[in-house]
Amino acid sequence: MAGALVGGAVLSAFLQVAFDRLASPAVLDYFRDKKLDDKLLKKMKVLLLSINAVVDDAEDKHYTNQHVSEWLDMVKDAVLDAEDLLDEIHTEASKSKLEAEFKTANTSSKVWRSYLPVSVSSFDKQLHSRMEEILDNLETLAREKDVLRLEKCQYLGFGIRLQVTMAKNIKNDVVTPQTIGNSYL
């Protein structure tokens, strides 16, 4: 049980890092400065949010359903791939900013200008295809969550977490340990 809590916490932490990177000014500025399609970032965010919404339910079901357990492993790998790419974009953005600052500080240096990339770096050329590959993977995982019948969980205060279907069944009742069951408290 403790392993599941740690695993869920780790996956949630990975997702949070990915969300933070997606919203970072460095990544957003890089896409804007390079005139890249920021719809790719928005699509990644939507897919990650969709997956994140059912992670708690998947954590509950992975003990009894091998397919859910495998899905969680694939989600972790996909989130790490997305996080790695976003880290690389962040690094490239920092490099580009430093190069631009150095270039303006040394405008008279012809040697420096000869080493600057002409227009598009090899990273920029690969970025779109790598991003599309990650998005395809996330889209597949988002579709699979529906096949696995993973549901978004609702939180009803006092630390009580209920599945959406259970919440619908008891929404008009008084929430007590007897109506929910002690296992949820």
Q: How many residues does the chain have?
A: 185
Average pLDDT value over all residues in the chain: 79
pLDDT tier, 99 (very low <50, low <70, confident <90, very high otherwise): confident
- Domain residues for 136? 2-150
57-69: per-residue pLDDT in tens?
898 899 999 999 9
Q: Is the pLDDT of residue 181 over 60?
A: no
- Each residue's pLDDT tens digit, 104-115: 766 555 555 555
| Pair 73, 28 in one domain | yes
* % the chain with pLDDT above 70: 69
Tell me the average pLDDT across 143-169. Answer: 68
- On whether the CB atoms of residues 45 and 22 are closer than 8 A, the answer is yes
170 lies in the same domain as 142: no
103 plus 159 within the same structural domain: no
Please count the structural domains in the chain: 2
- Please report the pLDDT score of residue 98 as a whole number: 83
| Same domain, yes or no: 144 and 160 | no
Residue 180 pLDDT? 54
Q: How confident is the model at residue 52 (pLDDT cuts 50, 70, 90)?
A: very high
**To the nearest 10°, the Cα dihedral for 164, 170, 175, 176?**
-110
Q: Is 93 left (phi over 0), alpha (psi -120 to 50) or beta?
A: alpha
Check whether residue 111 and residue 163 sit in a common domain: no
Same domain, 178 and 110: no
Give pLDDT, residue 120: 57
85-99 average pLDDT score:
89
Same domain membership, residue 89 and residue 26 = yes
Residues 121 and 82 in one domain: yes
Structure tokens belonging to residue 71: 């899905």
Same domain (yes/no): 82, 29: yes
Kindly state whether residues 163 and 146 are assigned to the same domain: no
DSSP 109: -
Residue spans of alpha helices (H) in the chain? 2-22, 25-33, 39-52, 55-61, 66-105, 110-115, 122-147, 164-170, 177-180
CB-based contact 30:93 (threshold 8 Å): yes
Same domain, 172 and 141: no
Is a pLDDT exceeding 50 seen at residue 30?
A: yes
User: Above 90 in pLDDT, residue 135?
Assistant: yes
Residues 182 and 100 placed together within one structural domain of the fold:
no
